[in-house]
Structure 1
């Protein structure tokens, strides 16, 4: 009898009803054999035997704010090293307007890293006034394009070639220019330019050429 009473006392934490005190009671013997069968059903979010539930995981770390109060530190809020992308796009689009032409231009840098550079530009626009810059001699819609080639020779010399064209209203204009820049001494540069212009008017054509050599000093 004492052994059964001891088992009943050990099963006390699992029981939510008061135990009968009369020795030899069949109910007491049933509780001692299987205390779990006398537990009450739990219809709440927290049962009476919550102390037997598995402990929750370790609490999240907290940090103190400037005011001395503890603030919750959520996962993923840690600071990381900033990332940067120094690369720039090779393609660009430009809208432009001036006193003699308005339009749009699409640029592509096919080669830009290294001693050789290749660039291409193509666009459409409307010429407002003729003979103000390189182009056709009539006002109206035009198609323009440009090809740039550059080559670096060591640390002192650079060769640049540029081809421009414009067409519209039955006319066409082409300009080809070439320049060679040579660094002679610190702040001293020898610059040479050569350009050929060709334009058509009413089925005819005209071609002009010019060149220059300059010695420049940068202050």
Structure 2
């Protein structure tokens, strides 16, 4: 085993232990929580090693990095998740490789994704990104729809050709009433998901939690946790 593969294997084992322990503490089954490894800034060679280690879900947040990486790994049995802010001029590229887009936050993006998915002959799973930063109605700096807009936006996704409403996503807020309280933020996301599932029962994905707060996310009901640095190491500084 190469040094890098051994490093990744050790890191994955530690993350797996954390997820399993969090599930046990929350009284949940381990198989009900999906680990998504966020591979941003790391090379396709790392993605290949992760696949050899049994990883099935990987995520990226910049299309200019993700598209060539996904192409280089097209032979691998991976689901690619796009988790970053998405500009409408990038949707055609993203729908070519991403099984899920976690950052749907505005009607214009829904329209663009729908057109691109139809042209590509693909069905794209869409999660509504919910911002819990600041006061209700403000759009957080990292994107997202305010809670009161989720129902309408979800309805647009559900009605759009080529798209499948998959669930909701959030990032632990840096500002506002939930700043420093990721567990409370994730509980609020779960409540939003519960209301969404009353109207759209199949929209059952709850994407929350990263390396620093995955335990709080699992405790609050997250079905998918997005872990990067805990698996791949401290990210290199981008120029």
Provide TM-score, normalisation by structure 2. Answer: 0.23
Q: Higher Cα Rg: structure 1 or 2? A: 1
- Answer 1 or 2: which has greater strand percent: 1
Q: Identify the structure with bigger relative contact order (alpha carbons < 8 Å, sequence gap 6+).
A: 2
Provide TM-score, normalisation by structure 1. Answer: 0.25
